[in-house]
Chains A and B, each alone.
Chain A
Amino acid sequence: MIVAEQKPLKEIQSLVGEAQTVLIVGCGTCVTVCFAGGEKEAGILGSLLRMSARMEGHEKSIGEVTVQRQCEWEYLDAIGDRIAEADIVLSLGCGVGVQALAERYPDAIVIPGLDTKFMGLPLEQGVWAERCAACGQCILGLTGGICPIARCSKQLLNGPCGGSSKGKCEVNPEIECAWQLIYDKLNAQGRLDLIMEITPPKDWRTGRDGGPRKIVRQDLRLVVTEEA
């Protein structure tokens, strides 16, 4: 899932500024599961903003609505009227959700209420960790299902570096050394041959380094271009 965290209230208030009518838009997918921007969080944030506005002596009209998936335009159509009434739209979606809103409603002023952190999973209640960096060409088949791009601090393809110590990364003892994990897994499975050979430099074009990415699936398109 996409894991996000709510911005500090002060930052959100400064983004909201003088706007009188604020619509908070939660999202029912990833950010609900990671307790950052679902219906519940939208409600709590709405109450906080109302209270603090009242304490500062001005009245704001703050509404909340949560859509099932903020990152798809079709789920945003139903809230068009509420958006039209708002001075500002405070999205509690991930960075994709914020932009989907802004694209679907070009006249609306859309601001983010979350900081989108990473693609990861919950390790336990309240703890999430990064697992995928969306590099565009998956190498997990060679590394025992542990990603060195997302999980090695230096993105080494032929690790570990000299800073690996007792299973931990030199950057921070909270970080597990991805290459220790890779070694342990492959060793246990009798597949160390996978990392005996030198892995060549990665072609980063499939990642963000090739420019913003797009996928076109002609087999799925409703309007097929003639060139295709």
Chain B
Amino acid sequence: MSELNGYKSGSNLEKVLRAGHFAVTAELGPPKNADGEVVRKKAGILKGFVDAANITDNQTAIVRMSSIGAGVIAFQSGLEPVMQMTCRDRNRLGMQSDLLGGYALGMRNILCLSGDHQTFGNHPQSKNVHDIDSLQLVQMVVGLRDKASLQCGEEIKGLNPRFFVGAAENPFGDPFDWRPYRLGKKAKAGADFIQTQLIYNVPRFREFMKRVVDLGVHKQVYILAGVGPLKTPGAARYMRDQVPGMDVPDEIVARMEAAGKGIEDRKQKAAAFKEEGLRICVELIQQMREIEGIAGVHIMAIEWEEAVPIIMERAGLLPRPVP
């Protein structure tokens, strides 16, 4: 561990959090093709504005460039990646070999996920794996790092991968009362950081965080609150009505709807919606900063990476620390 100066992984994200800064991560969705230029362009937009960016892993069960492949391009473009890994597409052999390969290619952060069910995506006929679950994946990655052993218990001879290990939690998933305990289980599994599902219902999130703080879980793991700019009232309604486990209050939907009132020109209307979405997002970030136990935010601007620098500027989160 000596060459890491006491850090678990030495990643920028780890250093920022350890130094006590309010951390910011964003999301970079790889393309549905083999064009590395798309990743380079998106990385160029985010570079310097966030501490690290999650590279999604076949998100919503739709085939995209791999998280490792796109992550390497982001890394080479000067943006620190958070490699995402779901339990849907690989068994423990595939996962560990990708962890070894990803580390060798420069990955230092990982987010461990169950993965959206494949019936949502573009290959609903496929077989899913779920050999291990996301909690067990956290344990496995921590084992590679802290015990230098594979999941089977076999010792890793030579360099072992030392990731800064993340997990997700949906504060609005049910059963609501169980969620803080499940977060505690993720901390117990050895997670270093947590990124939450998108938050729009702040009072309910406060209630969740109060329980998390009462359990002392916020002292065991850095919690990054998930926020994101809405593009249209339709997107807000869709998330409110159609996405399981999402909680978008009516007042947010109403604000988005009101933003376009009286504007005839379609382009101007779209711009007004986006502006309101950005405004809500910045307000959410300010509210998150006030909540005890929150160590940063994770900005999910899906297919709208350009929004991130604007949000960061307006939220007063620039320049980013260089720990």
Contacts and interface: CB of A to CB of B under 8 A. Distances in A.
Interface of A: 153-172, 177, 180, 183-184, 187, 192, 196, 198-202, 204
Nearest to B128: A154
Contact of B188 (A155, A163, A172, A198): A198
Nearest to A177: B174
A171 B174 contact: no
Contact of B169 (A162, A180, A202): A162
B185 interface: yes
A163 B175 contact: no
A154 B173 CA distance: 15
Contact of B117 (A157, A163, A198): A163
Contacts of B173: 160-165
B115 to A, nearest CB: 8
Contacts, number: 93
Contact of A164 (B140, B168, B174): B174
A153 B136 contact: no
B260 to A, nearest CB: 29
Q: Please indicate which of the listed interface residues A158, A169, A180 has the most CB atoms of chain B within 10 Å of its own CB.
A: A158
Contacts of B151: 201
A104 to B, nearest CB: 32
B236 to A, nearest CB: 17
B245 A198 contact: no
Interface of B: 87-88, 92, 114-117, 119-120, 128, 130-136, 139-140, 151, 168-170, 173-175, 177-178, 181-182, 185, 188-189, 197, 244-245
A34 to B, nearest CB: 25
Contacts of B245: 162-165, 170
A201 B96 CA distance: 14
Nearest to A157: B133
The 4 closest A-B pairs by CB, nearest first: A162-B170, A170-B244, A158-B135, A165-B244
Given A156-B114, A161-B173, A200-B139, 5 more contacts: A154-B87, A158-B134, A162-B169, A165-B245, A170-B245
Given A170-B245, A201-B92, A162 B175 contact: no
B135 A198 contact: yes
